[in-house]
Structure 1
């Protein structure tokens, strides 16, 4: 009988790799791509820098892997469908529960903007699939058809993360209570509804 057990060394390697990805996500969320340091990631993950470079190549490649892992997790947790209002609300909930995910996404947008068109194919394909869903919803009469899909998606993403990205100074003078999450969630839903709902 052939054993299906994973060799202990291989299992430890997988566990270490997961620690590296988790530590890298925190490092990139805090410092961005330019400010992130492999030595800090290695120390946090209890892994050697040499092993990290062997697995991922360089810092940019590690960042791409962190982003793709995060997007895969997000796509699984909040799959887009033709109910774009509910999708926006669930995306808001996801970012509230894990603010670091939103911060890494912001760093990715800044990093990609500086990359002059050298984007991750996986991330580009993910956005193409989202745009296809929006087009389907427009053809089905569920979404205002005059929007360009890419413009509508950009606005919905901005709404979903609006409070997380709001300047600290604005949050400090807000009349809302710091934990007034229900009010902010309702505002996200209403703003998305006004954009998405077909006009009479």
Structure 2
């Protein structure tokens, strides 16, 4: 299937396709997804899905990109050093409340190769710059690695609910309550400890 063909826009049709595609890809991945199911769920002709996006793989990439767009819209960057812990919690709350993005990223790791062309600097670079500013640390490479640790704290529990259930001996119906309650408090405490320790080391390096 060649690239997308220009078609007259139908109000809301692209967003309906992306919503349906996100649900389908999150459930069964790229290989297991069916474009006809996505089209049916979106209430649109299958050929129009191809007209908008060109291929199933391109639609998967668009669904991931839309997930990051929603994350950027819902989770503003930290407002200075004092906001970094709350920023980590906002990321955590987003992933707990929007598990589809985490699932898409897991499928992406399994089914899409690591290519330079798939990098998303438009999303990540701004976030890393915010960590650099918030921590007052000019060692950008070090801060990049720290940001990965904080993002992992925020995203991992929601993306790995089976492991959370196993480790905590929680039943499947109570995992969401755990994530929204005591696990959230634990993430806040861990993020605060990491950031405080980092600030101390950063200050020592500057002296």
TM range (shorter): 0.7 to 0.9
Tell me how far apart the structure 2 counterparts of residues 23 and 43 of structure 1 sit (CA, whole Å). 9
TM-score calculated relative to the size of structure 2? 0.77
TM-score calculated relative to the size of structure 1? 0.80
Q: How many residues align?
A: 184
How far apart are 1:100 and its partner, in Å? 1.5
Moved over 6 A (4+): 144-147
Does the C-alpha gap of structure 1 residues 74 and 110 become closer, same or farther in structure 2, counting only changes over 3 Å? same
> Structure 1: which 5+ residue stretches go unaligned?
1-9
1:92-136: CA deviation from partner (whole Å, max 9, x where unpaired)? 111112211221233334455x1432215xx22211111111122
Cα pair 2:132 2:140 within 8 Å, conserved: no
Other structure's SS at 1:199 match: helix
Does the C-alpha gap of structure 1 residues 134 and 22 become closer, same or farther in structure 2, counting only changes over 3 Å? same
Cα pair 1:99 1:164 within 8 Å, conserved: yes
Aligned to 1:75: 72
Cα pair 1:39 1:49 within 8 Å, conserved: yes
Cα pair 2:99 2:159 within 8 Å, conserved: no
Other structure's SS at 1:87 match: helix
How far apart are 1:26 and its partner, in Å? 0.3
How far apart are 1:32 and its partner, in Å? 1.7
Does the C-alpha gap of structure 1 residues 111 and 126 become closer, same or farther in structure 2, counting only changes over 3 Å? farther
Cα pair 1:138 1:145 within 8 Å, conserved: no
1:50-74: CA deviation from partner (whole Å, max 9, x where unpaired)? 1111111111221222122221111
Does the C-alpha gap of structure 1 residues 125 and 146 become closer, same or farther in structure 2, counting only changes over 3 Å? closer
**Bigger proportion of residues as helix:** 2
Tell me how far apart the structure 2 counterparts of residues 15 and 167 of structure 1 sit (CA, whole Å). 33
